[in-house]
């Protein structure tokens, strides 16, 4: 498999993925690396319902997804999606190599006082910021971008402006 896009998005698969990112990447498969989704039959059914016909959906726990990526030598273009920065970092630590991670949506709730709004569609905790910085420190670009035709942002710069790093 060839990872065309590695995306962090707490919604996993949604309209922007289906209408923009699959087309942009010409992905023939979506690999969701997420422990929760892999163990939740209802979530799996929902995700399968929104994936376009002709696009394979693979939902695996993070560790199994890492092994799959490392051993699959096919030339199938894949969109890799994780729910959180922690899962992206875990994949990196398990030996999954990507040249960048694109941060999509990370929601914030008014009741979640640990989360800070750093961009219209990105709310982060200190743990999120630390994981994203660790990914960047490992030499992997980390950017925020909602859809392919919109501007991308250096998320580490935005986290610094939000005072996660002094």
Q: Note the pLDDT tens digit of each residue in 67-111.
A: 999 999 999 999 999 999 999 999 999 999 999 999 998 887 655
Q: Which of 46-50, 109-113, 158-162 has the lowest mean pLDDT?
A: 109-113
How far, in Å, CA of 7 to CA of 25, rounded? 12
- All residues at 6 or more sequence positions from 37 whose CB lies less than 8 Å from its CB, including other chains: 12, 43, 44, 47, 59, 83
Q: Which residues of 7-32 are buried (b: 16+ CB within 10 A; e: fewer)?
A: bbbeebbeebbeeebbeebebbbbbb
Cα–Cα distance for residue pair 25/78, rounded to 1 Å: 8
Give pLDDT, residue 162: 83
Residue 166 has pLDDT above 70, yes or no: no
pLDDT tens profile 103-126: 998 887 655 668 888 888 898 989
Superfamily of domain 2-161: Phosphotransferase system, sorbose subfamily IIB component (3.40.35.10)
- pLDDT > 70? residue 138: yes
Span 39-55, mean pLDDT?
95
| pLDDT at residue 106, rounded to an integer | 83
Query: Residue 84 has what pLDDT?
Result: 94
2 compared with 166, residue with greater pLDDT: 2
Residue 163 pLDDT exceeds 70 = yes
Catalytic residue among 2, 10, 11, 14: 14
Checking if the pLDDT of 2 tops 70, the result is yes
The structure tokens listed for 159 are 């986290």
Specify the pTM: 0.93
Q: Is 100 a catalytic residue?
A: no
Task: Give tens-digit pLDDT for 6-41.
Answer: 999 999 998 888 889 999 999 999 999 999 999 999
The domain locations on the chain are 2-161
């Amino acid at each position: 498999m060839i990872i065309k896009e590695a995306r962090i998005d707490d919604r996993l698969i949604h309209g922007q993925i289906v209408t923009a990112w699959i087309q942009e990447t010409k992905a023939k498969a979506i690999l969701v690396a997420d422990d929760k989704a892999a163990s939740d039959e209802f979530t799996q059914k929902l995700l399968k319902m929104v994936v376009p016909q002709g696009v394979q959906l693979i939902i695996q726990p993070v560790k199994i997804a890492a092994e799959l990526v490392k051993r699959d030598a096919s030339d199938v273009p894949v969109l890799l999606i994780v729910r959180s920065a922690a899962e992206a970092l875990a994949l990196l630590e398990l030996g999954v190599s990507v040249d960048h991670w694109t941060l999509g949506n990370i929601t914030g709730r008014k009741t979640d006082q640990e989360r800070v709004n750093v961009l219209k569609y990105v709310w982060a905790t200190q743990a999120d910021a630390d994981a994203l910085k660790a990914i960047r420190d490992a030499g992997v670009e980390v950017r925020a971008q909602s859809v392919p035709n919109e501007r991308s942002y250096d998320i580490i710069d935005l986290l610094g402006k939000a005072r996660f790093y002094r």
